[in-house]
Structure 1
Amino acid sequence: MDWFSQLISNKLLLSGFAAWVAAQILKTIVHAIVNRKIDWPRLIGDGGMPSSHSATVTAVAASSGLYYGLGSFQFGVTVILAFIVMHDAMGVRKETGKHAIILNDIVEFIDSMGRNVSPEEKLKEFVGHSPLQVIAGAALGIIVAFVVRF
């Protein structure tokens, strides 16, 4: 069981997981306030405010800086990874969501012409993030890293 105690005492892993959980809970609350109803699948869903991807990778990067120093290999690797993930969330994943909206409209049009389309065929539209959502997620990740550390 030594591996398990090592796993649960890993502060970088703990920071990343705690940031993800916090972001998912906040995302569900924000979505409920904006839409005036609770959408439980938001607890594990993609997209929304704040970005859980950004929160997770930023928490890991900030924690690596706090534990190993800003000049460490660990900090360098995690910061680069964080930038890649956050850029992807705003770029490729955001565009994927836009494409899904258009394709779903096309499928809905085809469906209106008599072809029955099952709900499983509908693409997920809520997958990317705006810059504000990414920044909010990054700020949350930094806060969580400091809370876990101190």
Structure 2
Amino acid sequence: MAWSESIKSEALKAFFENPIFLSAVSSWFFAQLIKAIIVLLRSGRKTPREVLETLIWRTGGMPSSHSSLVSALTVSIALNEGVGSNLFVVTLFFSLVVMRDAMGVRRSAGIQAKTLNLLGRSAADRLGIEYTPVKEIHGHAPLEVVIGALLGIIIAAAVTYL
């Protein structure tokens, strides 16, 4: 039993020390940290809960943590496995889809939801009816995606070479 536990702990240790894993997690974390700092600086008063929510879960804003994570993943795989590897090709196209989605579909859906909520509230006020707002998804502006991708590239290179 001790032998199998030793193998499991070694595999777990190898996973958490893997440069590809470290690049992806670090880039996501730093993007969210930067985003939380920007939110604090822009809006001033925020409750600890709002700061924690921004740090862990908030979507949209500068920089894009989605773009940071997938670009770090792709670059880290390129540096560790090579650009000729099948895994690099898969992650490259996965990254392009994620970044395009962040700027396009999610951003458009968020803008439409915001407009729908304004219209719904206005109609509810005028007609005296109840309106339940739809969820507003926060996508990214192109610059937020580019900055997130650059952050991911830098972190992947740092984790691999430092």
Q: Which runs of 4+ in 1 moved over 6 A?
A: none
- CA positional deviation for 1:126: 4.6
Give the match for residue 92 of structure 1.
105
Q: 1:134 to 1:5 in 2, by over 3 A?
A: same
C-alpha contact (below 8 Å) 1:48/1:126 kept by paired residues: no
Give ranges in structure 2 of 5+ residues lacking alignment: 1-7
- 2:128 is the alignment partner of 1:127: no
2:81, 2:106 → 1: CA distance? 31
2:135, 2:44 → 1: CA distance? 21
Match among 51, 63, 75 for residue 64 of structure 2: 51
Give the match for residue 90 of structure 2.
77
Match among 31, 48, 54 for residue 42 of structure 1: 54
- CA positional deviation for 1:98: 0.7
For the residue of structure 2 that corresponds to 1:54, the secondary structure is helix
Report the residue type matching 1:70 in the other structure: V
For the residue of structure 2 that corresponds to 1:37, the secondary structure is coil
C-alpha contact (below 8 Å) 2:106/2:137 kept by paired residues: no
- CA positional deviation for 1:145: 0.5
Match among 18, 30, 35 for residue 22 of structure 1: 30
- 2:158 is the alignment partner of 1:147: yes
- TM-score between the two structures when normalised by the length of structure 2: 0.82
- CA positional deviation for 1:146: 1.5
For this pair of structures, how many residues does the alignment match? 147
1:124, 1:148 → 2: CA distance? 37
- TM-score between the two structures when normalised by the length of structure 1: 0.88
- CA positional deviation for 1:96: 0.7
Match among 7, 20, 38 for residue 15 of structure 2: 7
Report the residue type matching 2:54 in the other structure: R
Give ranges in structure 1 of 5+ residues lacking alignment: none
Percent of paired sites with the same residue? 37
